[in-house]
């Protein structure tokens, strides 16, 4: 963990401690066989069957069970199958960053109640220190904050909710999973030539230039470029420049043992396997569980039922991803019950307007003060952080390929976490100092 001398037991493992010795053993290992031999329609029917059974089991409770509801297929399908009385949604008053209206429309179409909350920017930013405290370790996923407010709203009325974690890792839901199935002609170019082109693009072409990122990615093997969904915020080269003590261990030191276990699998399955062990464990389930527990709310995850996993493991590649479509079999199952518009909606994640807020003076100044602190100087080359922040505010890196808002956010969240645990502790809320 981020605390010296404190360690986590990995999922699927147990340990025996005896006579001063600890022996750690693995008792469960996901195994994607892809050996499903029935038709696609039969696969969709089986997905529907195991999901119905899983939701039914996860609804067993002495109290009411509700559901989180976004505008995507996962939570919508669970909500429909669960026939719950209450659904809960949060969003932002920033147009494209709010799924509230879509969620309300879906809830209305299946005759269910929906409680929605608009999170204000000040609420979001003022909660950051507390949320990092509840998280124990720094998690720089902006969606963790939204989940905190979502669970807080749900806890006002219920004690248990259903949530859609795990569907993307099991059924092939992330848009990045399409990448190995696209541009197959380019990938036939010998690797030494692609490697040269990638290095040339990285070192000689300007950031944001069309095609630069493509050449950089395809100049590396999958094992060299894919470290888990959405976690490659900084390249190792960038991190080495910003961190005072360099970037060690390297990312591949973490991922190589995982790739070694699935070296005979197709590229998409390899990505799923890495995501199951890294992204799902250390981000998705971490924030879902801890934000729920911060509000005394039990979050149940029907997609991670063992029978659902076993079926998902057996599905061949074409039942999972057919670029540009993802979660093909799951969406087909969902279409049997819910409207096509929802079942086929592209994966969005949890849209958060971080890049917009960082251009506003109030929030820019908060981050700038943290980047200028003596605390930041312990870990980072702060001149580079300041330039990144100022360039973002001034609109120098405005398109998606050069946007640095996630990088800025990642460093800022680490500093918020470090400040809470090792420097000043619990911050004084701005409202408590008003007028002083």
What per-residue confidence (pLDDT) applies to 238?
87
Token couple for 89: 């949604």
Same domain, 299 and 168: yes
Same domain, 290 and 159: yes
Task: Report the domain count for the chain.
Answer: 3
Whole-number pLDDT of residue 56: 97
Residue 311, pLDDT score: 98
Among the candidates 315, 343, 371, a domain finishes at 343
Say if CB 195 and CB 383 are below 8 A apart. no
**Range of the structural domain that residue 193 is part of:** 175-228+232-275
pLDDT of residue 418: 97
pLDDT (0 to 100) of residue 243? 93
Query: Is the same domain home to 111 and 128?
Result: yes
Among 12, 3, 78, 65, smallest CA distance to 308 is for 78
Same domain? For 88 and 99 the reply is yes
Residue 30 corresponds to which tokens in the numbers above?
Answer: 């996901």
CATH assignment at residue 73: 3.40.50.620
Residues 283 and 256 in one domain: no
Is residue 360 domain-shared with residue 338, that is, in the same domain? Answer: no
Residue 95: per-residue pLDDT = 65
Within 10 angstroms of residue 39's Cβ, the number of other Cβ atoms is 10
Residues 271 and 294 in one domain: no
- Does any domain span residue 11? no
Judge if 204 and 310 occupy the same domain.
Answer: no
Residue 151: per-residue pLDDT: 97
The pair of three-digit structure tokens given for residue 430, joined into one six-digit string: 């701005």
- pLDDT tens per residue, the chain (436 residues)? 999 999 999 999 999 999 999 999 999 999 999 999 999 999 999 999 999 999 999 999 999 999 999 878 999 999 999 999 999 999 988 666 678 888 999 999 888 999 999 999 999 999 999 999 999 999 999 999 999 999 999 999 999 999 999 999 999 999 999 999 998 889 899 999 999 999 999 899 988 888 998 999 899 999 998 998 765 688 888 888 999 987 777 888 999 999 999 999 999 999 999 999 999 999 999 999 999 999 999 999 999 999 999 999 999 999 999 999 999 999 999 999 887 766 666 666 667 889 999 999 999 999 999 999 999 999 999 999 999 999 999 987 655 557 899 999 999 999 999 999 999 887 765 554 444 4
pLDDT at 233: 85
Residue 427 is predicted with a pLDDT of 73
Q: Judge contact between 82 and 93, C-beta under 8 A.
A: no
pLDDT of 307 = 97
Instruction: Please check whether residues 328 and 392 belong to one and the same domain.
Output: no
Among 305, 322, 343, identify where a domain stops. 343
| Helices assigned H by DSSP within 344-404 | 354-357, 361-371, 374-379, 382-393
- Establish if 51 belongs to a structural domain: yes
Do 169 and 179 fall into the same domain? no
């Amino acid at each position: 963990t981020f605390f010296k001398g404190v360690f986590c037991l990995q999922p699927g493992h147990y340990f025996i401690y005896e006579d001063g010795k600890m022996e750690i053993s693995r008792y469960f290992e996901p195994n994607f066989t892809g050996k499903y031999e029935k038709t696609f329609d039969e696969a969709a029917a089986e997905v529907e069957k195991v999901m119905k059974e899983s939701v039914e089991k996860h609804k067993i409770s002495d109290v009411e069970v509700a559901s989180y509801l976004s505008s995507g297929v996962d939570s919508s399908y669970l909500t429909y199958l669960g026939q719950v009385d209450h659904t809960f949604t949060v969003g932002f008053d920033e147009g494209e960053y709010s799924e509230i209206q879509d969620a309300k429309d879906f809830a209305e179409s299946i005759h269910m109640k929906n409680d929605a909350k608009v999170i204000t920017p000040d609420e979001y930013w003022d909660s950051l220190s507390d949320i990092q405290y509840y998280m124990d370790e720094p998690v720089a996923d902006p969606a963790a904050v939204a989940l905190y407010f979502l669970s807080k709203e749900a806890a006002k009325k219920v004690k248990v909710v259903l949530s859609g974690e795990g569907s993307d890792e099991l059924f092939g839901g992330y848009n990045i999973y399409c990448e190995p199935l696209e541009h197959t002609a380019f990938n036939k170019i010998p690797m030494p030539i692609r490697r040269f082109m990638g290095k040339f693009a990285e070192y000689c072409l300007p950031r944001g230039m069309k095609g630069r990122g493509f050449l950089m990615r395809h100049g590396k093997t999958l094992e060299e470029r894919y470290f888990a969904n959405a976690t490659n915020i900084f390249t190792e080269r960038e991190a080495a420049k910003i961190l005072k003590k360099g970037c060690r261990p390297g990312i591949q030191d973490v991922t190589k043992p995982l790739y070694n276990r699935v070296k005979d699998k197709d590229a998409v399955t390899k990505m799923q396997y890495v995501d199951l062990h890294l992204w799902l464990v250390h981000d998705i389930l971490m924030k879902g569980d801890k934000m729920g527990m911060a509000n005394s709310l039990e979050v149940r995850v029907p997609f991670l039922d063992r029978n659902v996993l076993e079926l998902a493991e057996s599905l061949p590649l074409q039942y999972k991803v057919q670029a540009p479509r993802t979660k093909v079999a799951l969406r087909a199952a969902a279409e049997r019950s819910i409207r096509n518009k929802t079942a086929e909606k592209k994966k969005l994640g949890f849209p958060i307007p971080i890049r917009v807020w960082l251009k506003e003076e109030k929030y820019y100044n908060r981050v700038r003060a943290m980047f200028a602190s003596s605390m930041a100087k312990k870990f980072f080359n702060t001149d580079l952080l300041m330039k990144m922040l100022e360039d973002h505010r001034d609109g120098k890196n405005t398109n998606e390929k050069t946007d640095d808002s996630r990088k800025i956010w990642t460093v800022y969240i680490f500093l918020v976490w470090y400040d809470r645990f090792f420097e000043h502790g619990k911050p004084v809320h701005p409202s408590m100092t008003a007028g002083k």
